[in-house]
């Protein structure tokens, strides 16, 4: 039987999970505890919520494996997939920033010429320095980027910053912001959705818009009448 339910991917277990679940629930969607499952079906809307690694979400959305996804703008900027941002969701707020040791003599980014820059965001970093015409050595690592200056292997890092506590703990300071990021709702640019699914998606988007504008007062028992 053809499954006409919409599919929405969210992060399975990470910084965006709780906020994404709360957001969906505040839009009136009713679904079971997400922790034990890889997907949940909503009781009151033809929607399946799929729980995956955040890095995989743009791929699943681009290929049409899921119709919608909630992911950090940073992941999208880094992965360069053919998906579109439907709306900013106002959580997961952070920035991708360049940081240097507290005691560094560097005052402006231009002085980072030929510097060794460690990051988990090599594409965003490369793009930024290329645009600025500053040649640098970018070294990609998968995590714990903040430790690399103390190890003596990095002159600067490029990493996500939210409160700035992690940088401060590691005696690092921001010298420049590359971009701001927050959680966004995405869909595929080229997916051929059935008319039925398009209508459902529009209903869901309208509902999300109401939550974001703080005027959601619709009954939650039944979303489609
Ligand atoms: O397992 P999976 O691959 O799904 O998750 P992940 O480990 O790759 O990602 P996760 O859960 O750490 O982050 C998910 C998303 O949350 C990111 O892609 C961002 O969109 C968003 N986000 C918001 C953040 C932060 N704030 C953030 N502060 N992601 C990471 N950080 C890290 C940062 O890398 C640094 O290590 O927190 C540290 C800095 O935080 P502050 O508060 O000390 O500045
Ligand atoms: Zn990830």
Residue 146 Cα: closest atom of ligand 1: 36
The pLDDT value given to residue 214:
84
Q: What separation in Å is there between the alpha carbon of 53 and the centre of ligand 2?
A: 6
The pLDDT value given to residue 119:
98
The pLDDT value given to residue 155:
98
Give 168: exposed, middle or buried? Use CB within 10 Å, 0-12, 13-18, 19+: exposed
Q: Is 15 in the pocket of ligand 1 (CB under 6 A)?
A: yes
Residue 92 Cα: closest atom of ligand 1: 23
* β pairing state of 94-101 and 183-188: unpaired
* β pairing state of 183-188 and 83-88: antiparallel
Local confidence pLDDT in tens for the 225 residues of the chain: 457 899 999 999 999 999 999 999 999 999 987 666 788 999 999 999 999 999 999 999 999 999 999 999 999 999 989 999 999 999 999 999 999 999 999 999 999 999 999 999 999 999 999 999 999 999 999 999 999 999 999 999 999 999 999 999 999 999 999 999 999 999 999 888 899 999 999 999 999 999 999 865 555 555 553
Is the whole-model pTM more than 0.75? yes
């Amino acid at each position: 039987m053809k499954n006409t339910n919409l599919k929405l991917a969210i992060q399975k277990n990470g910084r965006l999970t709780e906020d994404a679940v709360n957001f969906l629930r505040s839009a009136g969607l009713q679904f079971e505890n997400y922790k034990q499952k890889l997907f949940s079906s909503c009781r009151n809307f033809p929607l399946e919520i799929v729980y995956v690694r955040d890095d995989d979400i743009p791929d699943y959305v681009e290929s049409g494996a899921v119709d919608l996804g909630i992911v950090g703008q940073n992941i999208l900027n880094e992965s360069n997939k053919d998906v579109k941002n439907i709306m900013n969701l106002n959580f997961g707020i952070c920035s991708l920033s360049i940081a240097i040791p507290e005691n560094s003599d560097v005052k402006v980014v231009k002085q980072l010429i030929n510097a060794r820059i460690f990051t988990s965001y090599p594409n965003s970093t490369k793009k930024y320095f290329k645009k600025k015409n500053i040649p640098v050595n970018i070294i990609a690592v998968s995590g714990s980027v903040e430790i690399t200056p103390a190890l003596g292997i990095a002159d600067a890092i490029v990493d996500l910053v939210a409160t700035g506590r992690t940088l401060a703990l590691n005696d690092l300071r921001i010298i420049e912001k590359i971009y701001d990021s927050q959680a966004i709702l995405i869909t595929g640019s080229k997916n051929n959705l059935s008319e039925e699914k398009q209508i459902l998606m529009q209903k869901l988007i309208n509902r999300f818009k109401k939550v974001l504008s703080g005027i959601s007062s619709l009954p939650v028992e039944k979303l489609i009448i």
